[in-house]
């Protein structure tokens, strides 16, 4: 019998495509392993030992679920860092020949377009686009139950091709089908739009619909289901239901729970309690149905008054991680029952290196596109050629700034960049805490100019006010310190900015930065950082070598005034003098940023860590001696992460 024939879904009485009485084999360890899909551990390095057949779903053993995926600026299926990170992970998987398939939603109206008036007031409009220009529509259909009714789903496919020709298929789930009601057709329209009910319905489509779609498409050998943030955690419920159906039981037992846990990999991306999706129990019952909530409770997941999606992801995963060393520490404090490791984020080098730096790397660092870790050998780059490559990138940025804003920047002036979501804890206006302090610095040491970008959430009035304050600072400082704010920040502007400025600034309120990747993109292009010690910068910071810190140490909370004093003092006495008076020293810092940070904070290193520590843990270590692969401290088969 075909493993993905249609079965009766015993938990809600609804027909669902994706498995048969052997369906649990793909999560219970009875099917192929990562090694059997051609991925082998050779001398401590994971390598693809045979070519993947892109037309054969059976060759895939890792399913990567993400609420958003950023692959192209023209495809608004991402809103920010989470989606960009997912896109970079997928590209790295394609480069490395990792047997992965990815699942996300289509978002026909995207997140939103940002427009700014002369005073910095933000307005928003939908992102209308045509998925058929980019994707191939699949013929398979599945249906799920939402609020007691059937909702049909289709999928669109994009093949992401890596450096050596391997591909990773990405499926974008779409509810815009004629058999659905107008309301349900719109459930995959808006990224992070609507109310809590809309959001929960989307997460059901991603998790439960995503698992059903994989089954309909023939992916029989999935061994690891990676939940990139809690949005996808309901896939664990879908896997429980598959296991129950395969075993012919109406209540999940230890075998079904263990099978799900052995397949689960969960990555949390936020150190902020409010950032973890929570849904009231009554809303969850209305959307999922009481019977499904009982299944979760029978499987040992007790939600009390709310469904915490991160708790759900942790509970049913054998491996869980934060996205930096510091973030893992914070996550262990927030979720003390679970063993949360650290896999620090990374960026995809060939995507984020500017054209001029890509050409430079091609000449001096053969193989860097397929393995960004080779950028360690950028130590051989001549300083003069680094300066020339950067000058070309800076010229590209200045042209865009002038075109979009009319602000004429000086190519010889130290240019500082900041591009983040405009929200309170990211503190985009910290640089202008005391605008008058900048005047003597500029007059005594040298010119200074700023390029900003970043959207505020439509309902975040405090974030919108940050943008307005930056515009007011521009008026106050006038031509003495030129300030440009680029609207509608996207991947294209991100690449221009992280490669074209001279110094990258990031000043979140500690410890609220999980990782941050914009500074990694800057380092890849030889741009040093000047940032608060939080997230990835704790690991990447070497004072005066890869950049500078705003106050220190990282494990001692900073007061606001201390940070302001450090910011202006280092600009005046360290950073500007190095840039204007010791240009060769500055170029050496640029090279160190590439060598030390570009070679490590990349998606190839990141994915290699997931392969060895998360996806292939069963291959390396087997099942825990106590028979329980849950990601619980007392039961974990792996050593504890460093504190």
The answer to which of 48-62, 141-155, 524-538, 613-627 has the lowest mean pLDDT is 613-627
Q: How far is the CA of 173 from the CAs of 131, 142, 504, 535, in angstroms?
A: 11, 10, 36, 32
CA distance 522 to 503: 8
Mean pLDDT of 430-452: 93
Asked whether 12 and 247 are in contact (CB, 8 A), the reply is no
CA 570 to chain centre: 31
- Region 600-627: what's the mean pLDDT? 71
Average pLDDT, the chain: 88
In this predicted structure, what is the pLDDT of residue 45?
Answer: 41
The Cα 3–Cα 310 span in angstroms is 30
Determine the Cα–Cα distance for residues 430 and 515; give it in Å rounded to an integer: 19
The DSSP H or E segment spanning 591 is: helix 583-592
Q: What is the pLDDT of residue 555?
A: 63
Residue-level pLDDT at 628: 36
Overall average pLDDT of the 299-306 stretch: 92
Structural domain boundaries in the chain: 7-345+614-635, 349-601
pLDDT in tens, 493-516: 999 999 999 999 998 888 889 999
Cis peptide before 551 (omega within 30 of 0): no
Residue 52 has pLDDT above 70, yes or no: no
CA distance 36 to 546: 41
**Structure tokens that stand for 107 in this block:** 């978002």
CA distance 541 to 432: 23
End-to-end CA distance of the chain: 49
**Cα dihedral 236/242/247/252 (nearest 10):** 30
Cross-strand partners of 39: 48
Q: What is the DSSP string of 96-153?
A: HT--EEEEEE--TT-S-EEEE-TT--EEEE-----GGGT-EEP---EEEEETTEEEEE
Task: Please state, in angstroms and rounded to a whole number, the distance separating the CA atoms of residues 102 and 81.
Answer: 17
The pLDDT assigned to 27 comes to 40
More confident residue, 559 or 343: 343
Confidence (pLDDT) at 53: 60
pLDDT exceeds cutoff 70 at 545: yes
Q: State residue 238's pLDDT score.
A: 98
535 and 344 in contact (C-beta within 8 Å)? no
Q: What is the pLDDT of residue 554?
A: 65
- Mean pLDDT, residues 15-28 taken together: 33
pLDDT of 275: 85
Task: Tell me the average pLDDT across 64-73.
Answer: 97
User: What pLDDT digit, counting tens, does each position of 279-294 carry?
Assistant: 999 999 999 999 999 9
Considering the entire predicted model, what is its pTM?
0.89
Q: Count how many residues are written for the chain.
A: 643
Burial bucket for residue 613 (CB in 10 Å: 0-12, 13-18, 19+): middle
Same CATH topology for 7-345+614-635 and 349-601: the answer is: yes
Q: Comparing 24-33, 38-47, 447-456, which segment has the lowest mean pLDDT?
A: 24-33
Our measurement of the distance from residue 463's CA atom to the centroid of its chain's CA atoms, rounded to an integer in Å, reads: 21
Q: Dihedral, CA atoms, 488, 494, 495, 498, nearest 10 degrees?
A: 140
Mean pLDDT of 385-409: 97
Q: What is the pLDDT of residue 426?
A: 85
Instruction: List pLDDT tens digits, range 182-215.
Output: 999 999 999 998 899 999 999 999 999 999 999 9
Question: Strand ranges (DSSP E) for 541-592?
Answer: 547-550
Q: Is 260 helix (H, G, I), strand (E, B) or coil?
A: helix
Name the more confident of 260 and 426: 260
Q: What is the DSSP string of 147-193?
A: TTEEEEEEEEEEEEE-TTS-EEEEEEEE---TTS-HHHHGGGT-TT-
Give Cα separations from 336 to 305, 328, 626, 633 (angstroms).
20, 11, 21, 8
Rounded Cα distance between 291 and 13, Å, is: 10
Q: Closest Cα partner for 419 from 112, 87, 89, 84?
A: 84
CA neighbor of 539 nearest in space, from 266, 327, 273, 271: 327
Whole-number pLDDT of residue 41: 45
Distance CA 338, CA 209 (A): 27
pLDDT band of residue 21 (cuts 50, 70, 90) is: very low
Query: In this predicted model, which residue has the larger pLDDT, 466 or 55?
Result: 466
Q: What integer pLDDT is reported at residue 616 of this predicted model?
A: 75
Domain at 349-601, CATH homologous superfamily: Glycogen Phosphorylase B; (3.40.50.2000)
In this model, does residue 26 exceed pLDDT 60?
A: no
For residue 423, name the pLDDT band (cuts at 50, 70, 90).
confident
> What's 559's DSSP letter?
P
Report the DSSP beta bridge partners of residue 174: 154
Taking the CA atoms of 388, 390, 396 and 397 in sequence, report the sign of the dihedral they define.
negative
Each residue's pLDDT tens digit, 76-132: 999 989 999 999 999 999 999 999 999 999 999 998 999 999 999 999 998 889 999
Q: In the prediction, which pLDDT does 274 show? A: 82
Q: 7-345+614-635, what's its fold?
A: Rossmann fold (3.40.50)
CA-CA-CA-CA torsion sign (572, 573, 574, 577): positive
Q: Say if residue 643's pLDDT is above 90.
A: no
Residue 55: predicted pLDDT: 67
pLDDT one-digit tens code per residue, 628-637 = 344 545 333 2
Structural tokens at position 186: 């719109």
The two counts, helices (H) then strands (E), for the chain are: 24, 24
> Which helix (DSSP H) or strand (DSSP E) does residue 220 occupy?
none
Read off the pLDDT band of 54 (50, 70, 90): low
Cα separation, 68 vs 77, in Å, equals 6
- Overall average pLDDT of the 428-442 stretch: 91
Answer yes or no: is pLDDT of 466 > 80: yes
Please, which pLDDT band fits residue 558 given cuts at 50, 70 and 90?
A: low
For 238-268, the pLDDT digits (tens) are 999 999 999 999 999 999 999 999 999 999 9
CB neighbours of 92 closer than 8 A, spacing ≥ 6?
98, 346, 348, 602, 603, 604, 606, 607
Q: With a cut of 80, say whether residue 409 has pLDDT above it.
A: yes
- Are 531 and 504 contacting, i.e. CB atoms less than 8 angstroms apart? yes
Mean pLDDT value across residues 403-408: 94
Over residues 571-578, the mean pLDDT reads: 98
Q: What angle in degrees, to the nearest 10, is found between the helix axes of 235-247 and 254-263?
A: 140
Tokens of 242: 């598959």
């Amino acid at each position: 019998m075909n493993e993905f024939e249609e079965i009766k879904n015993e938990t809600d009485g609804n027909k669902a495509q994706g498995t048969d009485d052997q369906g649990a084999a793909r999560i219970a360890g009875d099917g192929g392993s990562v090694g059997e899909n051609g991925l082998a551990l050779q001398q401590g390095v994971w390598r693809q030992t045979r070519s993947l057949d892109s037309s054969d779903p059976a060759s895939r053993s890792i399913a990567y679920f993400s609420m958003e995926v950023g692959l192209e600026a023209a495809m608004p299926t991402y809103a920010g860092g989470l989606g960009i990170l997912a896109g970079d992970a997928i590209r790295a998987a394609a480069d490395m020949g990792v047997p992965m398939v990815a699942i996300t939603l289509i978002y026909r109206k995207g997140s939103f377009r940002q427009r700014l008036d002369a005073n910095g007031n933000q307005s928003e409009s939908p992102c209308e686009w045509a998925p058929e220009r980019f994707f191939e529509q699949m013929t398979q259909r599945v249906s799920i139950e939402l609020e007691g009714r059937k909702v049909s789903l289709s999928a669109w496919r994009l093949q992401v091709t890596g450096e050596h020709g391997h591909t990773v298929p990405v499926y974008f789930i779409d509810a815009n089908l004629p058999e659905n009601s107008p309301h349900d057709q719109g459930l995959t329209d808006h990224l992070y739009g609507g109310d809590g009910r809309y959001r929960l319905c989307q997460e059901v489509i991603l998790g439960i619909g995503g698992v059903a779609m994989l089954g309909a498409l023939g992916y029989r050998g999935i061994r690891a289901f990676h939940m990139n943030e809690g949005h996808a955690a309901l896939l664990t419920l879908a896997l429980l239901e598959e296991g129950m159906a395969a075993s012919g039981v109406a209540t999940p037992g230890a075998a079904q729970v263990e099978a799900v846990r052995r397949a689960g990999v969960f990555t949390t991306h936020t150190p902020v309690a409010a950032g973890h999706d929570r849904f009231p129990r009554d809303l969850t019952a209305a959307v999922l149905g009481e019977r499904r909530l009982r299944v979760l409770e029978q499987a040992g997941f007790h939600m009390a008054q709310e469904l915490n999606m991160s708790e759900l992801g942790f509970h049913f995963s054998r491996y869980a991680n934060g996205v930096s060393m510091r973030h893992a520490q914070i996550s262990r404090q927030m979720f003390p029952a679970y063993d949360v490791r650290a896999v620090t984020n990374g960026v995809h080098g060939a995507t984020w290196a500017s054209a001029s730096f890509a050409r430079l790397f091609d000449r001096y660092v053969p193989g860097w596109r397929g393995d960004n870790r080779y950028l360690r050998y950028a130590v051989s780059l001549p300083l003069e050629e680094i300066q020339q490559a950067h000058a070309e990138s800076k010229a590209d940025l200045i042209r865009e700034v002038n075109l979009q804003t009319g602000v004429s920047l000086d190519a010889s002036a130290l240019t500082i960049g900041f591009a983040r979501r405009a929200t309170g804890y990211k503190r985009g206006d910290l640089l202008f805490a005391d605008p008058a302090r900048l005047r003597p610095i500029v007059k005594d040491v040298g010119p200074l100019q700023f390029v900003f970008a970043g959207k505020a959430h439509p309902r975040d009035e405090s974030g919108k006010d940050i943008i307005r304050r930056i515009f007011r600072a521009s008026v106050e400082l006038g031509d003495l310190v030129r300030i440009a704010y680029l609207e509608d920040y996207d991947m294209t502007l991100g690449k221009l900015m992280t490669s074209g400025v001279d110094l990258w600034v990031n000043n979140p309120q500690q410890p609220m930065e999980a990782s941050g990747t914009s500074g990694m993109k800057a380092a890849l292009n030889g741009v040093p950082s000047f940032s608060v010690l939080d997230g990835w910068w704790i690991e990447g910071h070497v004072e005066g070598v890869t950049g500078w810190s705003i106050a220190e140490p990282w494990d001692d909370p900073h007061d606001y005034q201390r940070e302001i004093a450090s910011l202006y003092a280092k600009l005046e006495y360290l950073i500007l003098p190095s840039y204007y008076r010791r240009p060769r020293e500055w170029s050496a810092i640029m090279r160190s940023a590439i060598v030390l940070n570009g070679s490590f904070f990349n998606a190839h290193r990141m994915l290699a860590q997931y392969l060895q520590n998360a996806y292939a843990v069963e291959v390396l270590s087997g099942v825990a001696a106590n028979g329980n692969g849950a990601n619980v401290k007392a039961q974990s088969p792996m050593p504890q992460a460093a504190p």
